[in-house]
Amino acid sequence: VKTSFAIGTLEFKNRVLVASGTFGYGDESLAPELLNELGGIITKSLSMKPRDGNPPTRIVETPSGMLNSIGLANIGVMKFVASKLPFLRTLDTAIIANIAASTIDEYCHVVDVLEEVDGVDGYEINVSCPNVKEGGLSFGTNCGMVEEITRRIRQRTHRPLIIKLTPNVTHISDFAKAAEDAGADAVSAINTLIGMAVDVKTRKPVLATVTGGLSGPAIKPVALAKVYEVARAVKIPVIGIGGIMTARDALEFLMVGASAVQVGTANFIDPESGITIARGIRTFCEENGCDDAGSLVGCLDAKTGLSVLDTWL
């Protein structure tokens, strides 16, 4: 069974990657032999300078999911290069650096630093960060900003460029098209959905930041619909993310049009989730006479001719 696929010139050995922020810098939980079974590792979002992130409480469990307001805590790109990349370079899996920034110049600076070093196979750009210059609103909710960030980074690198989309917009496909038009090699979707939790005893929000990002199985149906919408709008590969716990979940994403998937929250329950899911996709292919997992991508047999955006009418 062929499980590999490519984004631009970069080959992935299979279609399962671990999602940013749920697997640290790849050096904490699993032995290299296991890590090498992943299609790729996406790092925690890296910013130019180290960030402490938000004050506690910054994680709360919810029915079928979790809310987080980590606030992009990370060691900064310099320390990543010095202390994490040497280990990551020894692995036989794709290493994707996820980048977060509060100005477009900061995104560019982080890319410039990483362009100088070996061992980074591609970039995933987290546009769900507050944009300091534009007054705190997220870049990812402004189509023109997504286009400009993509274009500016595209000018600086030949490495595969993935733009990670937020679902907290009206039409996510507009943002996917903006990224595609500006030269992205792929888009990934979805980042977390805005949510909140309240403690009725104290009458206070549970998270110090009041709202946070919802992830886990609770968001899978939303993520599937968003990925379906995006996959029908762009020609570049789409990487599906959101509540994937099992190989069956991952297969659903492939069928609605994702070329690959990322496993996030599941890693907190079992850091081997991604590996189990990659093996499960292979087994499904073997048992169903499918000699290339790629033939499952977009194979959904949807009878309706309605556009995704019209189906609620």
Ligand X SMILES: Cc1cc2nc3c(=O)[nH]c(=O)nc-3n(C[C@H](O)[C@H](O)[C@H](O)COP(=O)(O)O)c2cc1C
Binding site for ligand X (CB under 6 A): 19-22, 44-45, 66, 68, 70, 72, 98, 126, 164, 191-192, 215-216, 219, 241-244, 263-265
Buried-state track 259-284, b at ≥16 Cβ within 10 A, e below 16: bbbbbbbbbeeebbbbbbbbbbbbeb
Using CB positions, name the residue nearest to ligand X: 21
Least Å distance between CB 223 and ligand X? 7
Q: Which residues pair with 5 in a beta bridge?
A: 12
Least Å distance between CB 271 and ligand X? 13
257 versus 264: smaller Cβ distance to ligand X:
264
Least Å distance between CB 294 and ligand X? 22
The pair of three-digit structure tokens given for residue 218, joined into one six-digit string = 């609770």
Least Å distance between CB 303 and ligand X? 28
Residue 206 to residue 223: CA distance in whole angstroms = 25
37 versus 124: smaller Cβ distance to ligand X:
124
Active site residue 129: yes
237 versus 243: smaller Cβ distance to ligand X:
243
* Per annotation, catalytic residue among 129, 143, 285, 299: 129
72 versus 285: smaller Cβ distance to ligand X:
72
Identify the burial level of 232 via C-beta atoms within 10 angstroms of its C-beta, where 0-12 means exposed, 13-18 middle and 19 or more buried: middle
The single-letter code of the amino acid at 203 is R
242 versus 294: smaller Cβ distance to ligand X:
242
- Nearest to 236, CA basis, from 293, 165, 309, 153: 165
1 versus 272: smaller Cβ distance to ligand X:
272
Least Å distance between CB 51 and ligand X? 10
217 versus 290: smaller Cβ distance to ligand X:
217
Least Å distance between CB 306 and ligand X? 27
Least Å distance between CB 49 and ligand X? 15
The pair of three-digit structure tokens given for residue 8, joined into one six-digit string = 């631009």
Catalytic residues, by residue number, are: 129
